[in-house]
C-alpha cells in the first residue's frame, strides 16, 4: 500500500439513505446528511453515450421505470426519467442524477463519499476512467478524498492506472483466501465486504494486514455493534441514523 491511511467515518449512508429516500438520488444523499451521516456510498455506471450517473442496476426498470439497459440509453433520456415514484408517490419527480450533479450536491452538503464503480458488463475500464476523470475535474477541495470501490477488479486496476491518487477498496461479497492477492493487485487500502458473511477470523486477518475494513449493508443496531468488536472500521447502512445511535457516534 503506497497511499497513506484514509480517515473513514464509522458510518456511511448506503446509496444515500436508501431506507428513507429513493436510492442513488440527490434526495437520498441529502437525507443521509440530515440523519447525521458524514459520508455516503453510491453506485456509478455509464449511460450509452458515456456519461457517468448514479444507478445500481444494469437495467433502468426497477428504479426509473424504463425497461432498458442504462448502457443502451443516452444520458439525454436517462436524465429525464423519474427516479422516485417507485419508492413512494411523494418522491415522484426526482431524477436520476449524473455523477457531476452528485458531486456538486456532496460539495453543498459537506459529504464525503465511497464511490462504487458499478460498470455495466464489458465497460469495466471505461467506467473507472470516466469516474476518476470526473473526480479530477469536479471533486471539491474542501471534501475528504473519496474512496473508490468495485466488485470488478478490472475497474479498480483501471482506476489505479489512470488516477493512483484515489484510494481503492476491493469489494467482495464473501471473502476467500485470495482476498489479499486481489487487494495487492490493485494496491488497495481497504476491503469492503458483506458484514453478514464476515467471520471474526477473517476480520482479524484483514486488520492485522493493515487494511481498512468496511461492511455492507448493515441496518441492525446490534449487528453493527458486534461487527465493531471484531475490528470493522466502517459500517455502510441504509439507516445511518440508527447505526450512528447504536455506535454512540
Partner interacting with residue 152 (select from ligand G3P, Mg ion, none; CB below 5-8 Å by kind)? none
Q: Rounded to the nearest whole angstrom, what is the least distance from the CB of residue 116 to ligand G3P in the complex?
A: 4
- Cα-Cα-Cα-Cα torsion 88, 94, 97, 100, nearest 10 degrees, comes to -130
Q: Nearer to ligand G3P by C-beta: 43 or 124?
A: 43
Of all residues in the shown chain, the one whose CB is closest to Mg ion is: 116
Per CB under 5 A, which of residues 113..172 are in contact with Mg ion?
116
Figure out which of the listed residues 28, 127, 152, 192 binds ligand G3P, where binding follows CB under 6 A: 192
Q: Per CB under 6 A, does 32 bind ligand G3P?
A: no
Figure out which of the listed residues 27, 29, 35, 43 binds ligand G3P, where binding follows CB under 6 A: 43
Residues annotated as part of the active site: 14, 56
d(CA 63, CA 65): 6
Q: Per CB under 6 A, does 153 bind ligand G3P?
A: no
Q: Rounded to the nearest whole angstrom, what is the least distance from the CB of residue 76 to ligand G3P in the complex?
A: 25
Q: Per CB under 5 A, does 241 bind Mg ion?
A: no
Q: Per CB under 6 A, does 132 bind ligand G3P?
A: no
Quote the cell numbers at residue 195. 458484514
Q: Per CB under 5 A, does 238 bind Mg ion?
A: no
The contact set with ligand G3P (CB under 6 A) reads 14, 41, 43, 56, 116, 149, 171, 192, 216-217, 236
Amino acid at each position: 500500500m503506497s497511499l497513506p491511511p484514509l480517515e473513514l467515518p464509522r458510518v456511511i449512508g448506503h446509496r444515500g439513505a436508501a431506507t428513507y429516500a429513493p436510492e442513488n438520488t440527490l434526495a437520498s444523499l441529502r437525507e443521509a446528511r440530515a440523519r447525521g451521516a458524514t459520508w455516503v456510498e453510491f453506485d456509478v455506471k455509464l449511460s450509452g453515450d458515456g456519461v457517468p450517473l448514479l444507478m445500481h442496476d444494469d437495467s433502468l426498470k426497477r428504479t426509473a421505470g424504463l425497461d432498458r439497459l442504462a448502457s443502451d440509453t443516452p444520458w439525454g433520456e436517462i436524465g429525464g426519467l423519474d427516479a422516485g415514484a417507485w419508492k413512494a408517490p411523494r418522491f415522484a419527480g426526482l431524477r436520476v442524477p449524473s455523477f457531476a450533479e452528485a458531486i456538486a450536491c456532496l460539495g453543498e452538503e459537506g459529504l464525503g463519499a465511497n464511490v462504487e464503480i458499478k460498470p455495466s458488463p464489458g465497460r469495466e475500464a471505461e467506467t473507472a476512467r470516466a469516474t476518476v476523470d470526473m473526480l479530477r475535474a469536479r471533486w471539491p477541495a474542501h471534501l475528504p478524498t473519496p474512496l473508490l470501490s468495485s466488485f470488478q477488479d478490472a475497474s479498480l486496476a483501471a482506476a489505479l492506472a489512470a488516477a493512483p491518487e484515489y484510494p481503492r477498496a476491493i469489494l467482495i461479497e464473501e471473502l476467500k483466501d485470495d482476498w489479499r492477492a486481489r487487494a495487492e493487485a490493485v494496491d488497495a487500502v481497504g476491503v469492503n465486504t458483506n458484514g453478514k458473511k464476515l467471520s471474526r477470523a477473517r476480520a482479524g486477518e484483514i486488520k492485522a494486514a493493515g487494511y481498512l475494513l468496511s461492511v455492507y449493508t448493515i441496518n441492525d443496531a446490534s449487528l453493527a455493534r458486534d461487527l465493531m468488536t471484531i475490528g470493522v472500521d466502517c459500517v455502510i447502512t441504509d439507516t445511518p441514523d440508527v447505526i450512528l445511535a447504536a455506535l454512540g457516534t
